[in-house]
Amino acid sequence: MLFFTGAWGESFDRLWGAFLIEEIHFPDVWGLTPATWISVITAGVALLSLVSTEIAKRRIDRLGHSAVAGTLLGVTALIAVGVLLMASARGFAMAIGAYLLVQVLRPVAYPLVTGWIVSRVDSRVRATSLAARDMFDSGGQIIGGPAVGWIGLVGTIRTALFAGALVLLPAIALLIAATRRAPAAHPDAHPAAHPNALPAALPDEPAEENAATGDEAPPAEEAPPVGPNHREGSR
C-alpha cells in the first residue's frame, strides 16, 4: 500500500504547480504573481491540516485502534477522488478546491499508518516494520514518481494526474482487504484471551456446574441422631 501511495505522492508534488500555471492559470487579482498565489495556497493548506488531523485524532480516540484501517481507507479514497476532480477541472475555483481537499487529507494518512503498525505489530519487530514502511514509501517515490512524470512529458499534465489517481487504486484495494481481516483479530474471537472472559467451571465445584446446567444438586446425607437413647445403646 505504501509503495503505491509513495508513487502517487511524488508525482503529485511535481505536477500540481505546473498544472495550475500552465493549464488552469491563476486569476489576475491584486496583481498577485503565481509565486504569491502558491504561497497563499500553501499557507491555507497548513491551517486546514490542523483541523483535519484533529478530527482524525478524535475519531480514533472515540472508536479505538480498530477504526484506524477504516479511517485510512476513507482518507485514501477521498484523496483519489480529489485528484480526479482536480485533473478534470477546467476552472480555477474547482481546481483549487480539489487541491485543498487532497493536501488537507495527506497529513492525516501518515500518522494513521504509523499508529496502525504500532498497534498491530509485536514490539520486538516494531522498529523493523517502521523501517520497512519508509523503505516501501521511498521505493514508490523512486520508481513510480518518474514513471507518472514521464506520462506528463509525452502527453499532458492533466493525463499524468489521472494516471496518478489510478496508481492509488491498488492501495485502496489493499486497505479494503485489511479492513475485512481486522475483525478476526478482535479479542472476542478468542474468549480465553479476553481480559473479561469468565473462567470455566472446575470439576470440583458440582454446585456451580449444576447451576449452569439447570440440574438440582443431590441432597446431602443427614448425620445419625445423637441422643440419650443412642448413647445408652452404645454402652
Q: Are 118 and 126 in contact (CB under 8 A)?
A: yes
Instruction: Quick: pLDDT tens for 162-180.
Output: 998 899 998 898 888 877 7
Residues 6 or more apart whose Cβ sits within 8 Å of residue 138: 6
Residue 107: band (very low, low, confident or very high) from pLDDT cuts 50, 70, 90: confident
- Measuring CA to CA, how many Å separate 208 from each of 196, 198, 205, 211, 233? 19, 13, 6, 5, 41
Q: Are 44 and 175 in contact (CB under 8 A)?
A: no
The C-alpha angle with vertex 87 and arms to 139 and 153, in degrees rounded to 5, equals 60
Whether the model pTM is above 0.75: no
Choose among 191, 12, 173: nearest CA to 99: 12
Residue 64: band (very low, low, confident or very high) from pLDDT cuts 50, 70, 90: low
Instruction: Quick: pLDDT tens for 214-233.
Output: 555 455 455 455 444 444 44
Q: Which three cell numbers stand for residue 230?
A: 443412642
Q: Would you give the distance in Å from CA 43 to the centre of its chain? A: 27
CB hemisphere CA count around 79 (13 angstroms):
28
Mean pLDDT across 85-110: 90
